[in-house]
Structures are given as structure tokens and as C-alpha cells.
Structure 1
Amino acid sequence: MAKLTHILVVPFPAQGHVMPLMEFSNQLLINHGLKVTFVNMESIHNKLVASKLEDHHHKEEKEDSRIHLVSIPERDPDLGKFVEYVSETMSLHLEKLIKKFNESDDEKIDFIIVDAFVANVFEVAKKFGINGAAFFPTSLGYLALMLYFSNLIEAGDIDEKGNPLKDEDIKLPLGMPANSTIDLIWALWDEPNMQKGMLALAFNVNKAAKTAKWILSNSPYELEPASHDLIPNILTVGPLLPRERLGLPKGQLMPEDSSCLTWLCQQPAKSVIYVAFGSTTCFTHSQFNELVHGLELVNGPLLWVVRAGLTDEVTTPYLDGFKNRMVQRGKIVDWAPQYRVLAHPSIACFITHCGWNSTMEGLSNGVPLLCWPYFGDQVHTENYICDNVKVGLRFKKDENGIITRSEIQTKIQELLGDEGIRSRANKLKDVIKTSTSEGGSSSKNIEDFINCIKL
């Protein structure tokens, strides 16, 4: 039997990075007959394995031997020390792993796909003469912005340490959403170690662009052509939406509560307000209180994902009261099978943190969006949604930086009554579907990529 092309895949250790790379890995297996070793920190690895076992509890299916989940030791939880972890600990263990695989001709690593935020890994691959591609999980626009780093310094928008020098929109090439220097990923933190860690991620992305043979983007060309044309060696392969495949991991790090799908089937078409803020958003006491009361003011059924850590409080008594009052017209879950939720005909709109995966899942189903970004690329995505493609609305904060309950009620009502936004969202749904269908731009790029690495 001929040796299968063996790909080593290394994501950044976070839900929004692991999921699309796992989906891409599954496509390499199912559609193209490649073998994948997927490497994670131990805690992420254990969650992936647990998720896989949970699926098998319901669906007895033989595990696909072509995907191998591997763990490496944990990093220090301090993001400021992340650079040190990538350049030393992660690199050391990956070097040992590659050496072990390369002892066997059948297991030898042929190619590496690395999240652009951990670009130092390419230096390990280079020692073994292994070519690689960088993977960027968010929008083309945000990638172009990060690669525009040196231009921002020259323009006086930021200094060489990434500190913002102006509180105004950055002048970007035509077609890219405007961005303020205070919204850049490294500028949103007061704590020096966090700033250092975030800035290091930006430098890593620039390093990845210079080192990798290609940059794979989790976005379709048709959504961001202007940004696409600014990025060298770019291959758009997205959106990489989660699909359930028996015997293969989905890339979800938290258990999904599928009971909400049964509940959705009991609701009228286009009636449910879906609310989910991703895996990292954390609200203050006052903001969470306004959110709860704002959602209670809205008429109609509500599905809300309230995971552990969504608020900085230990207990939320008013949330418990809200749950009791919402029994007749709403449902609250810890985590949802989001793509299946957004594909359900009962969904009317999506209140989102504007993570790129959530944005793509919403747009792929023609769902209007209400934007509530938390940090970094999410702010950029909000601008893209509201100002470029005009398929959603943004909330306005009061003088204390709070989105009030009345603002929440008003914007939901405004969005639900805007047929123009719904029409544009449905058109984008068709564009995305075409890009990922046979012969579409993303589908063709994946084919070309596979043909190149098989040579």
C-alpha cells in the first residue's frame, strides 16, 4: 500500500482556532485521502478526546485511523509568556515529535500547517526540510491589517511597541473596514504582560506571512476581494464550517446541549432571537445585569448560550430569576451546536460577539446579525458586518461604556423590522454556498493546495 501524505497540523490553543483547522483536517482526510496528526496542548487535547468519546457514546462508529490526536505539555496561563512557550517549550516537543515520526518511512511528516499566531513552529519544520502553510482563522481584512503593521508605524498611528498614538480611524487601503488604533488586538489591555503577549501574536502573523509557502484563510474570496488582493500567497479556503462526521472529531471543546434543537422545532419560523458570545467574552456585573433585563424586555422566543465565565460574578441571582420567568418563551443552555442552531428555520436573528467562526456560521445561513464585539478582530468584523456588507447593526454604548437594556430592546426591534438587512444576508448566503460548492473559489483553492503538497 502506498504511503499516505502525512500532514502535521498545529493550531493556536483556543476554540476559535482549533475548530476551523479541525474541519480543514477532516476535509483533507475525507475528500483527499491524506493522513493528519493534530497537535494540541494537553488541556485542549483532552477536551477534543472527550468530545469524540461523547459522540461515540451516541453513535457507535469505528475511529478513523488517518487522524491522530497528539498532546504536548501545557503553557503558562500568563499570555505574556506565550512567546517563550512557542519558541521554547512547544518547539522542543514538536521537534521530538517530528523526529519520532520520521524514524519510519510510512509515518514521515511531508508537510506542516501551522496557525499563523504560532509562526515560530516553522523554524522547527525548516530543520527537517519540511515546507508549510500558515492558517489564519479570521477575516482577510484583519489579516491585511496585521500585515500592514510597518505602514502603521510609518504613518504615526502606532509606535514600534504597538502603542496607539492616535484615537482615530487608521487610514487603510480602499475596501477595508475602518479601524481605530485603540481597537487593535494588543491595545485593548491595560496589563503590560497581556499587551506584550498580544503584540507578539501580531509579530508572529507577520513572520508567518514571510516564512510560509501559502497563507490559508478561513474566508471566501468573494466576501473580501479588496483585502484579498493586498495579501501575497493567499489561498481562501473558507468558510470552514463544523460538520458532523462519524468517527472524526468536530473540534468542539465544550459539550453541546442538543436539546435546544428540539425546542427550536416547537417555535414559529423566523421568530427566535439567538444569543451567544463565544468562548472568551466576560461581562462585568453591571453590563450583564443590563443584558439580562434587556433580553427580558423583548417579545418573542429566546435561545441564549450562558457558559461558565460569561460574567465576572461568582453568582448571578437575577439570572436565576430570569430563567424562571423565561420558562414559557425561552431556553438557556451552557453551549449549543451553533451551526445547526443557525441553520434552523425558526431563527430570526443572532446577537453575536463577532468572532469570525460565528460570523461565517450566521452569514452562511442568511441570519441578520446584532454585533457586540469583545476585543481584537471582533471589532474589525463588526465594522465589516455593519458598514461594508450591511447585514447587521451595532449597539451604542452610553457615557459609562454600558449597552443599556433599552438600547438592547430598541436594536433588536430595529433589526427584526429591517427587510433590507435580511435580503442582503440571504444574498451573502448564496455567495458563500457557491464558493464552497464544487467548482467554487474556495473548493478550487483546496484542490490546488492538495495537488501541490502531494507532488
Structure 2
Amino acid sequence: MAAASPAHAVFFPFPVQGHVAAALHLAKFLHARGGVRVTFVHSERNRRRVIRSRGVDALAGAPGFRFAAVPDGLPSDDDDGPPDAPALLFSIGACVPRFKKILDEAAASGAPATCVVSDFDHVLLAAREMGLPAVAFWTTSACGLMASLQCKELIDRGIIPLKDAEQLSNGYLDSTVVDWVPGMPVDMRLRDFVSFVRTTDPDDAVLAVVASTMECLRTATSAVILNTFDELEDEVVTALSRILPPIYTVGPLPLLTATGHSPPHVVDCGADPPNTPDLGAAASLWPEDGGCVEWLGRKRPRSVLYVNFGSIVYLTSTQLVQLAWGLADSGHDFLWVIRDDQAAKVTGMLPSEFMEKTKAKGYLMSWCPQEAVLRHEAIGAFLTHCGWNSMLEAISNGVPMLCYPMGADQQTNCRYACTEWRVGVEVGDNIEREEVTRMVREVMVEEKKGREMRQRAMEWKENAAKAVVRGGTSWVNLQRLINEVFSPCNSA
């Protein structure tokens, strides 16, 4: 009998930095180690940004791996910064006809798609309409997903929408305990849930999209992939498995792709041959400052605080100044990412006195190779917005965190980091100079709290490493994923 044709997975992640980066990690691994043909779809806007930041060769692809692009429905006159997330959320449906055309073209070429991998409902539903398995790669944490799944229940119980804006600041979010969620602690507060619940509008459009997306996960997908590992989120993953299609926990993906192992009984393409294009370059939407790694090489182990609020979050000018002086007053070296689009929105954001005081102790840049930074022995802690990619990379490298969640699943991630995993401390509702100074010193120095956090962070680092080696939980789950979802005989 003729050998079955390779599975062909068409990836289309929600087109923002964190979602694209995680999806590309998974796509690369399935292609290189599982023998899966991949078409990776960018938005046109992100395609232009990748070319500007990494050059056209970043999208050259490789045998069996190609890049495509579709419009995202947003104006094309401002590609330098991140898109407005709500606007993108509502416009992305415009891409579906062009996305379907990519699937039609693949079929006409003799290499039809065998499944679609995405994390937003328009694409997953389009796949099902065309008779293809819809696989959800959910790029938030398992706890963040479970929190999002509760939005409809919170509405049904009359907890949200909030009665008035005062409930955002009068203690209601802290005093309202949500103790009925499967797999989550019984002392979860409303403030620990995804930021979409913080609305007073009974017709809130974003909340409606979240609720419909969760229903799509329940009813329209054939599998759900999570970038986490069982030891980290065991109880919530077990609870999710009772209400969603089959779940595959295959993280931390950066560690898994770095091991180079292939599960048994699947195609092993071996090490990438010489001159193979760096497919990972297509994940970076900003030029990266590699000089920061060289700067870290001149610093003592665990002496530098890394500060990065991710690819979408904007701080106000007041927050930036308060943070800057808090870092300066702490006395510790710091590596701080301030995106160009953030800097452009704040005129004279950092006073000259700050720049003078910290010129020997601080390194400011617009973007960096974060995985390499967090791996570096000079990093002692991470001040983060609690985006899941950032948190998982910190956990994978044994780096304790100062947490300042801003939106989406970040509040839930923060709660788990600070209370369940005990590798983080929350900065608070506002960034204030004195509080930043106190907390940086508390986490960075080798006194009781900082030492205990670092010890727990190193324990989680070991657990993450065990999950991805041969026989580890994520390694085994990846074998199941390839055999049950991406093998040719199961992808028709």
C-alpha cells in the first residue's frame, strides 16, 4: 500500500505577538519532529511587521512549511505598534473568506489541509464548515481558560455585569468570593478572574465574544492544546478535561522544542540541516536588541531585574515615571523594555535626572530576545504584566516575579503565581515609586522572602524540565497529540 500523505495543519493564531510566538513554537515542533506539513497564516499587517523587523527571508519557509497571509480588517496606515485589541477582535471575522481561499488552494495543489489550528472562533467555525477538524491551541494558562469559561455562569448568577462603576474600586471585586469553579481554589475572588468581567454594560461586546468563543471550544473543536504542564496546573486541567474535548498539555513549548527529542512511533526529521531558515524569526514583530545579552554578561549572577510589560500593554506617563524612579531608588541593576510605540505616546516620559542617575545601572531598549534574557544567570527577578508566555518562560527558568496584571487572563495568572505557585508578589493596583522600590529590594535580595521565592522558582524550573524530557508528561502528551490528532490516518 502507498504510504499515507503527511498531515497538513493550517495554523492561524490570533494575530498578536504572544499568540503568534506560541503557535509558531508548536508548528515548528510538529513540522520538524512530527513530520507534519504546515501552513502558518499571518495577518497582512503582521507579515509587513515581520519583514521590517527580521527581513523577507524570515518568511521564506522551508520544505513542508510555508507562510501565508490574510487581511485582518484593520486600517493599514499604522503598522508600528500593536493593534487595538478590541478593534482587532471585532474586525478579524473579515479575514474568513480569504482564509477559506487558502484552504481551497491547498486542496487544489494536491496537499489538502487535514486540520486547522487556531484560538479564535471565526477560524475554528470556518474549519468545521469546510469539513475539517478544528483544533484549538489555547495560548493562555489552563487557569485562565477555566476563568474565561465561567463568564456565562457569572452572568447567569447575576454577579456580572457590575451594578455600577463604584464596584470597581469599593472592594466588591475583593469581597465577592467565587467558590464553585471546578479545579480552582475555593477562595478565588472576582478580582482574580479575567478582566472581561469588569464591566457594567449588560450588552458588553467583548464579554459576549468571550462567551461565544468558550461555547465554540465546548462544541465545535475536536481537541484543545494547552501550553502548560500537568504538574503546574494539574487540578484545573483535570477539571477542564471533564467539560471540553480531549486536552493535550504540551508545555512549556520553548523547553520542549529545545530538547530535540521525538516521541516514538512518529517521524523524526532529526536536527535541522545546515542553512535551514530560522522559522522562529517569523514570530518577532519588533526588531530585537541583542546587545542586552552582552550587557547582562558583565553583571553578577541574579543581580539584574528584568522589566517588560509585553507587546500590547500601555503604561500611562505617570506610571512610567513612578516605575522609573522606583527602579532607580532600589539600587539594583535593571533591564527595561519600553516599546517604541509606547515611547512615542509619552512626551518626555523619563526625566533627565533619572537617565543620569541610572546610566551605569540600567539598560533601556525597545524589544529583546526574551527567552535568552530569562535564561541568563544575571537575571534575578522579572517585573511582568503576567502574560502567559512571559510567566511560563520565567517559571521555566526559575525566575521569581513581581506581578502587575493589566488585562485579559493576567489577573488569574497573577493570583496563581502569588498564591498557588508562590513564585510572585503582586505590585498592587497602582505603580507607586516607594512601593516599587520596596518590592524590588524584597524580591532581589537574599533575605527570607526573596530567598524562599527563588527556591520555589527553582523547584518549578526542575518540574518544567522533567515534563519535557523523554517520558515526561508533556513529552508523552505530545506523542498522543501527534498520533491522535495529527497523524495522516486521524486527520481526514
Q: CA deviation at 1:407?
A: 0.4
Q: Secondary structure at the match of 1:332?
A: strand
Alignment of 1:208 with 2:208, yes or no, is no
Contact 1:37 1:67 in 2 (8 A): yes
Q: Secondary structure at the match of 1:412?
A: helix
Alignment of 1:184 with 2:194, yes or no, is yes
Q: Which runs of no fewer than 5 residues in structure 1 stay unpaired?
A: none
Alignment of 1:42 with 2:29, yes or no, is no
**Alignment-derived partner of residue 355 in structure 2:** 323
> Relative to 1, partners in 2 of residues 1:201 and 1:150: Cα closer, same or farther, differing over 3 Å?
closer
Q: CA deviation at 1:73?
A: 1.3
**Alignment-derived partner of residue 306 in structure 1:** 338
Q: CA deviation at 1:152?
A: 2.0
Tell me the TM-score normalised to structure 1 length.
0.89
> Relative to 1, partners in 2 of residues 1:403 and 1:270: Cα closer, same or farther, differing over 3 Å?
same
Inter-partner Cα distance in structure 2 for 1:81 and 1:315: 25
Inter-partner Cα distance in structure 2 for 1:176 and 1:102: 43
Which segment is superposed worse, 243-252 or 209-218? 243-252
> Relative to 1, partners in 2 of residues 1:319 and 1:313: Cα closer, same or farther, differing over 3 Å?
farther
Q: Deviations over 1:34-68 (max 9, x none)?
A: 11111121011222344553887xxxx98522221
Contact 2:40 2:67 in 1 (8 A): yes
Inter-partner Cα distance in structure 1 for 2:57 and 2:426: 37
Q: CA deviation at 1:141?
A: 0.7
* Root mean square deviation of aligned Cα: 2.8
Contact 1:48 1:249 in 2 (8 A): no
> Relative to 1, partners in 2 of residues 1:228 and 1:71: Cα closer, same or farther, differing over 3 Å?
same
Inter-partner Cα distance in structure 2 for 1:68 and 1:160: 46
**Alignment-derived partner of residue 32 in structure 2:** 30
Alignment of 1:241 with 2:241, yes or no, is no
Q: Deviations over 1:182-239 (max 9, x none)?
A: 953324478999x413541342133123211111011111101111111132111112
> Relative to 1, partners in 2 of residues 1:422 and 1:253: Cα closer, same or farther, differing over 3 Å?
same
Q: CA deviation at 1:448?
A: 1.0
Contact 2:320 2:349 in 1 (8 A): no
Q: Deviations over 1:100-144 (max 9, x none)?
A: 111132x211111111xx212223222332112101101101111
Look up the equivalent residue of 2:216 and give its one-letter code: K
> Relative to 1, partners in 2 of residues 1:303 and 1:191: Cα closer, same or farther, differing over 3 Å?
farther
> Relative to 1, partners in 2 of residues 1:63 and 1:283: Cα closer, same or farther, differing over 3 Å?
closer
**Alignment-derived partner of residue 85 in structure 1:** 91
Q: Deviations over 1:241-287 (max 9, x none)?
A: 28798513321211110101111110011111111110111112222
**Alignment-derived partner of residue 67 in structure 1:** 65
Inter-partner Cα distance in structure 2 for 1:362 and 1:210: 33
Alignment counterpart, residue 483 of structure 2, candidates 427, 451, 455: 451
> Relative to 1, partners in 2 of residues 1:403 and 1:172: Cα closer, same or farther, differing over 3 Å?
farther
Q: Which runs of no fewer than 5 residues in structure 2 stay unpaired?
A: 75-82, 259-271
Q: Deviations over 1:150-207 (max 9, x none)?
A: 332333222599x9996323224365252416953324478999x4135413421331
Contact 1:138 1:218 in 2 (8 A): yes
**Alignment-derived partner of residue 389 in structure 2:** 357
Contact 2:195 2:411 in 1 (8 A): no
Inter-partner Cα distance in structure 1 for 2:84 and 2:400: 36
Q: Which protein, 1 or 2, shows the higher relative CO under an 8 Å CA cutoff with sep ≥ 6?
A: 2
Inter-partner Cα distance in structure 1 for 2:88 and 2:303: 44
Contact 2:396 2:461 in 1 (8 A): yes
Look up the equivalent residue of 2:33 and give its one-letter code: N
Tell me the TM-score normalised to structure 2 length.
0.82
**Alignment-derived partner of residue 413 in structure 1:** 441
Q: Across the two proteins, how many residue pairs are aligned to each other?
A: 441
**Alignment-derived partner of residue 100 in structure 2:** 95
Correspondence 1:309-388 to 2 at 5 A: 309-310=341-342, 313-388=345-420
Contact 1:354 1:373 in 2 (8 A): yes
Q: Secondary structure at the match of 2:294?
A: helix
**Alignment-derived partner of residue 160 in structure 2:** 158
> Relative to 1, partners in 2 of residues 1:321 and 1:201: Cα closer, same or farther, differing over 3 Å?
farther
Look up the equivalent residue of 1:237 and give its one-letter code: V
Q: CA deviation at 1:7?
A: 0.8
Contact 1:153 1:160 in 2 (8 A): no
The percent of aligned pairs where both chains have the same amino acid is 28
**Alignment-derived partner of residue 323 in structure 2:** 291
Which segment is superposed worse, 318-327 or 91-100? 318-327
**Alignment-derived partner of residue 472 in structure 2:** 440
**Alignment-derived partner of residue 141 in structure 1:** 143
Look up the equivalent residue of 1:316 and give its one-letter code: G
Which segment is superposed worse, 300-309 or 216-225? 300-309
